[in-house]
Amino acid sequence: MSKRKRYLIAGNWKMNISSSDARELVVDIAGKVGKVPKVDVLICPPFTSIPEVKNSLSSLAGAESIFLGAQNFYPEKNGAYTGEISAIMLRELGVSHVIIGHSERRTLFGEDDGLLNKKVLYALGTNLIPILCVGETFEQRKNGREVQVIAGQLKSGLRGIFQTEAKKLVIAYEPVWAIGTGETAVPEVVQKMHLSIRELLRELFGPKTAASIKILYGGSMKADNCKSLLQENDIDGGLIGGASLQATSFADIIKIANELSE
Ligand code: PGA
């Protein structure tokens, strides 16, 4: 089956893999993956491992389609923001993508829709590709509110974005109950949610732009369940936590995505 756009397979290392272990993992991933001309790969290490990942990638032949991402930033140019990192600092390190609004940021660090919207706008303004994460809790799904919750998160997160900028966006649908739990949503359920996201993007930005925006799935995606997920029409890749910490499992997902593109 040939998909209409390139898959994006993104690894979110979260607060794992210190800079002393990063090179080994990156070299191992690249070695196991080999050539995957039809897939974009993204690695999002902790801030302190970014330089090591960048150096490792630049010394590897065939790693041109492996991009470097960050897991967070603060949407100001510079100033008195103790403990924060700016978008410009990330750009300087060769970072091209940034995760925004992961449910761990929303719940553990109290990031609200207003701040997340500011981050999305700021990322676009500094040429970072925002990966805006949305997802419902188990409770919200149980009450039949999942589509409404996701629509609310998207509308606030994407407020004020012009159509011309919107095609650079990436959206990640990550049901909170599936993150790090081993509990993956079944492909048909994910497809239904992705379709509702696509429809909302259509309303906001028109059909052409909506069709070009990548919508990733995240929540216990692994080598043994990624194929059926990636085969769905509106699933354009994955945002992968646990399975991106091991070279074999991450490389297997990338290879499966590449095969599906052929
Ligand atoms: P998981 O994490 O793959 O470990 O469920 C996904 C994420 O939180 O992005």
Q: Over the stretch 113-151, which tens digit does the pLDDT of each residue have? A: 999 999 999 999 999 999 999 999 999 999 999 999 999
Ligand 1 atom nearest 220 alpha carbon: 5
Pocket test for ligand 1, best of 239, 245, 252, 253 (most atoms within 8 A of CB): 239
Q: Does residue 253 fall inside a structural domain?
A: no
**CA proximity to 77, closest of 90, 86, 65, 67:** 86
The three-class DSSP label of residue 192 is helix
CATH of residue 121: 3.20.20.70
pTM of the predicted protein model = 0.95
Q: Does residue 183 fall inside a structural domain?
A: yes
**What is the distance in A from the centroid of ligand 1 to the CA of 45?**
13
**CA proximity to 136, closest of 226, 197, 182, 187:** 197
**What is the distance in A from the centroid of ligand 1 to the CA of 52?**
23
Catalytic machinery residues: 102, 174
Q: Does residue 252 fall inside a structural domain?
A: no
Q: Does residue 259 fall inside a structural domain?
A: no
Q: Does residue 101 fall inside a structural domain?
A: yes
The residue whose C-alpha atom lies closest to atom 1 belonging to ligand 1 is 241
Q: Does residue 20 fall inside a structural domain?
A: yes
Number of domains in the chain: 1
* Residue given tokens 């940021």 in the structure block: 105
Pocket test for ligand 1, best of 181, 220, 252 (most atoms within 8 A of CB): 220
Q: Does residue 119 fall inside a structural domain?
A: yes
Task: Output the average pLDDT for the chain.
Answer: 94
**Segments forming the whole domain that contains residue 208:** 7-242
C-alpha to C-alpha distance for 202 and 218, rounded to whole angstroms: 22
Q: Does residue 15 fall inside a structural domain?
A: yes
* Neighbouring residues of 209: CB distance < 8 A, sequence distance ≥ 6: 163, 166, 167, 201
The residue whose C-alpha atom lies closest to atom 6 belonging to ligand 1 is 241
Express each pLDDT in 191-245 by its tens digit: 999 999 999 999 999 999 999 999 999 999 999 999 999 999 999 999 999 999 9
